[in-house]
Amino acid sequence: MRWDNLTEGTTDAALFGADSVTTRTFDTPEFRGVTFHEIRARSIVNRVPGASRMPFEWTVNPYRGCTHACVYCFARKTHSYLDLDTGLGFDSQIVVKVNAPELLRRRLADRRWHGEHIAMGTNVDCYQRAEGRYRLMPGIIAALRDHANPFSILTKGTLILRDLDLLREAAAVTEVGISVSVGFTDQALWRTVEPGTPSPQRRLDVVRTLTEHGIGCGVLMAPVIPYLGDSPAALRSTVRAIAESGATSVTPLVLHLRPGAREWFMAWLSEHHPHLVRRYERLYAGGAYAPTWYQRRITGQVHELAEEFGIGPGTRGGARRISRTPEPAPASGRDDAPTQLTLL
């Protein structure tokens, strides 16, 4: 493994040396087949390359790889920088930066740090199952709270509710933006394409609980999967469920298939929906993104539904809104990428 390559695609120097890696496995049903590579990172706050197109410049990612195992995840590519497999290896070889909280606290206290917004969940999910064991996020949120440093989190993990009290304390002193990803509500599709994640319904319960506790939560409706999750009925039931959860916003985003994710997704498609392979090849013939006409169609439909179901300006006291999906832009990281993250 090329540990010296673990730089998140940032301007930071290599994060740690090979001598600082401890490899562990846990013989519990939850972690069977998963290998954890515990490392002491050299840095944890990363500058986003090409930040001008993004709503933030700094990220914190305590993990690499993700047991949520979404077939379409484009963070898969980043595993190849470590000479790790981007398919099953991405789902089961998890790098854990065990000193993330202390590194962050040190950085926030540095005189050269000016309290910029920090985004989390932008590469892989910081509330994936590993977080239940390693508990890095409480220390991270506590550091941000203590320095009143604004931050945002994007997740599919219900584990975020464990840290509800900390999030509330942070929200009392700084800007906190939470978004949950729910691209569809179809159970059969969820089980095969996002096999390691909590169900869409449980994720929407997270939105509901956060909202009930005074923490506004948006939904990144991502990815909308062509021909599998994009029928008028599917879009309708998804947006209705999002509205019923009390989400403060909905941001639709069509599936994109960048190298690393594309091969893995197309293999999955061949196995589960072989009749769609040709249609996908045509739809994504131009590269990683579906054509603009398709994206606009989906976005328009979702916005109309969001207005109908009451997610939008002027509804229910005007506090909720639809977020316009930015034009697709190349970005490193996960499928529900920072360019699309709505900061509330």
Q: Which residues of the shown chain bind ligand SF4 in the complex (CB under 6 A)?
A: 66, 68-70, 73, 75, 124-125, 128, 156, 197, 334-336
Closest of 227, 290, 279, 286 to residue 253, by C-alpha? 290
**Residue whose CB is less far from ligand SF4, 59 or 149:** 59
Min dist CB 337 to ligand SF4, Å, is 9
Min dist CB 148 to ligand SF4, Å, is 28
Min dist CB 183 to ligand SF4, Å, is 10
Rg (Cα) of the chain, in Å, rounded?
19
**Residue whose CB is less far from ligand SF4, 48 or 305:** 48
Classified as helix, coil or strand, 26 is coil
**Residue whose CB is less far from ligand SF4, 69 or 170:** 69
**Residue whose CB is less far from ligand SF4, 124 or 167:** 124
**Residue whose CB is less far from ligand SF4, 120 or 170:** 120
Residue 87 tokens read as: 């398919």
Min dist CB 206 to ligand SF4, Å, is 13
Q: 240-253: b or e for each residue (b if 16 or more CB lie within 10 Å)? A: bbbbebbbbbbbbb
Closest of 260, 325, 262, 257 to residue 297, by C-alpha? 325
Min dist CB 123 to ligand SF4, Å, is 7
Min dist CB 222 to ligand SF4, Å, is 9
**Residue whose CB is less far from ligand SF4, 239 or 337:** 337
Taken in order 25, 26, 27, 33, the sign of the CA dihedral is negative
Output the DSSP codes for 197-258. Answer: SPPHHHHHHHHHHHHHTT--EEEEEEEE-TTTS-SHHHHHHHHHHHHHTT-SEEEEEE-B--
Cβ-Cβ contacts under 8 Å for 55 (sequence gap 6 or more): 117, 338, 339, 341, 343
Residue 49 tokens read as: 């390359």
φ, ψ of residue 3 to 5 degrees: the values are -65, -30
**Residue whose CB is less far from ligand SF4, 18 or 88:** 88
Min dist CB 137 to ligand SF4, Å, is 15
